Amino acid sequence: MQEKLTLMIPGPTPVPEKVLMAMGKHPIGHRSAEFQHVVQRTSELLKWLHQTNNDVLSITGSGTAAMEAGIINTLSKGDRVVCGDNGKFGERWVKVAKSYGLDVEVVKADWGQPLDPETFKELLDADFEKKIRAVILTHSETSTGVINDLETISKYVHNHGKALTISDCVTSLGACNVPMDDWGIDVIASGSQKGYMMPPGLSFVAMSKRAWDANKDSDLPKFYLDLKQYQKTVVKNSNPFTPAVNLFFALQASLEMMQQEGLESIFNRHGRHRDAAQAGMKAMDLPIFSATGYGSPSITAVAPKNIDAEILRKAVKDKYDILLAGGQDHLKGKVFRIGHLGFVSDRDVLTAIAAIESTLVSLGINNSNLGAGVAAASKFLN
């Protein structure tokens, strides 16, 4: 049977019919009053989602563009930064920072382990000359399904007094609590194809007052990603360059749906899905890849022992048309990842577990306790 795909990857995530319909409308002029209303409304809702009074700027581009914008709009060539790296996206920010000639100190943790906040604290405490300009890290590491302790690290950065916290919240925003102002995060980058329940194509950068202060001294060259141009126009409910008008229609529709559900309810749903997915996998004797207590609310990475993860993943796709994500880089074949991010219901999670369970049997993998995965997950869904 064709055309009945279910996405359970960490992006693109499933998109509600209402959002697709909004996106499929005829475009309108991006300098029209009608479009200004869309920008005004989405700007308000973006502040709500980020739990902030800061402006949240929308860029036509991927999450990487937003993250790069956060870095190049606050820092200067040669600036010392500390970069957390415990997965593919942590690695990416190290690359971005080095591309722009920053002086990067990398704090590593093994893939599957969280970053240790105390290592950041030690580096920050030892920086008497206040040379560290930013701590750059990924909140939810999509490649490993690990959530880092952004709250604690951000607190340590504040105690330092000079450095900024620049965070990739691409798969945490809209999935768990990321209160920008309360936690004092200076830059938050996110992307539309994640918790936003939208197709890819828009990304978002929120900048604190401290980040804008740092912007004044930033000397890295930029044009399309020059956030000052976005700041100047957003107050007029406009954009510096032609934005992806139809994606803005989708953004308004999806943010309104999110507001209707409520932040608390969204966060609970994602937490429940993580717990259900983890319990289901463990009951099937499939080990969770992320360290205990550090499972991301949006991705569960699983490291099966008796079967190549790619074989299992492909079999689930072929038989049940559920697309799971594979392992990246050295984790290819070792790990598969269940995306439970965005427009994902309890039914979807239960279905994915049932499909994995059924597929394991069809692949002849020993599973003496058939039904155990669904039973274990159900407990968290009821």
Q: Least separation, in Å, of the C-beta of 209 and a second copy? A: 25
Q: Three-class SS of residue 202?
A: strand
Q: How far is the CB of 83 from a second copy (least distance, A)?
A: 14
Give the helix ranges, DSSP H, for 184-292.
209-215, 227-234, 245-261, 263-283
Q: How far is the CB of 64 from a second copy (least distance, A)?
A: 5
123 vs 170 by CB, closer to a second copy = 170
The residue ranges that bind a second copy (CB under 8 A) are: 5, 7, 9, 11-12, 14-15, 20-21, 23-30, 32, 60-65, 68, 95-96, 99-101, 191, 193, 199-201, 220-226, 241-247, 323, 325
Nearest to a second copy of 28, 303 (CB atom): 28
Q: What are phi and psi of 268, to 5 degrees?
A: -60, -40
Query: Rounded CA gap, 286 and 298, in Å?
Result: 18
Least Å from the CB of residue 113 to a second copy = 25
Under 8 Å between Cβ of 72 and 83: no
Comparison of 10 and 117: residue with beta carbon closer to a second copy: 10
CB of 95 to a second copy, least distance (A): 7
Nearer to a second copy among residue 52 and residue 172 (C-beta):
172
Shortest distance (Å) from residue 4 CB to a second copy: 10
* Contacts (Cβ under 8 Å, ≥6 apart) of 26: none
| Residue 225 near residue 72, CB atoms below 8 Å | yes
d(C-alpha 273, C-alpha 360), whole Å: 21
Phi-psi region of 11 (alpha: psi -120 to 50; beta: other; left: phi over 0): left
**In the complex with a second copy, which residue's Cβ is closer, 137 or 225?**
225
> Minimum CB separation from a second copy for residue 123, in Å?
24
Q: Please choose, from the candidates 42, 65, 55, the residue with its C-alpha nearest in 3D space to the C-alpha of residue 209.
A: 55
CB 257, min distance to a second copy, A: 16
Residue type, 333: G
Local structure of residue 136 (DSSP, 8 states): E
Q: How far apart are CA 129 and CA 77, in angstroms?
A: 18
Q: Which single residue is written with the structure tokens 């999670």?
A: 349
How many other β-carbons are positioned within 10 Å of the β-carbon of residue 63?
27
Nearest approach in angstroms of CB 296 to a second copy is 18
Which of 220, 258 has the CB closer to a second copy? 220
Which residue number, 11 or 84, has a Cβ lying nearer to a second copy?
A: 11
Distance CA 186, CA 373 (A): 41
Contact present, 165 and 154 (Cβ < 8 Å): yes
- CA atoms of 63 and 173, how far apart (whole Å): 12
Minimal distance in Å, beta carbon 12 to a second copy?
4
Q: Would you say 52 or 144 has its CB closer to a second copy? A: 144
DSSP state of 176: B
Which residue, 89 or 294, has its beta carbon nearer to a second copy? 89
Distance, CA of 207 to CA of 52 (rounded, Å): 10
Q: For residues 260 and 361, give the distance between their C-alpha atoms in angstroms, rounded to a whole number.
A: 40
What is the radius of gyration, based on Cα positions, of the chain? 21
Q: Which is nearer to a second copy, 19 or 307 (CB)?
A: 19
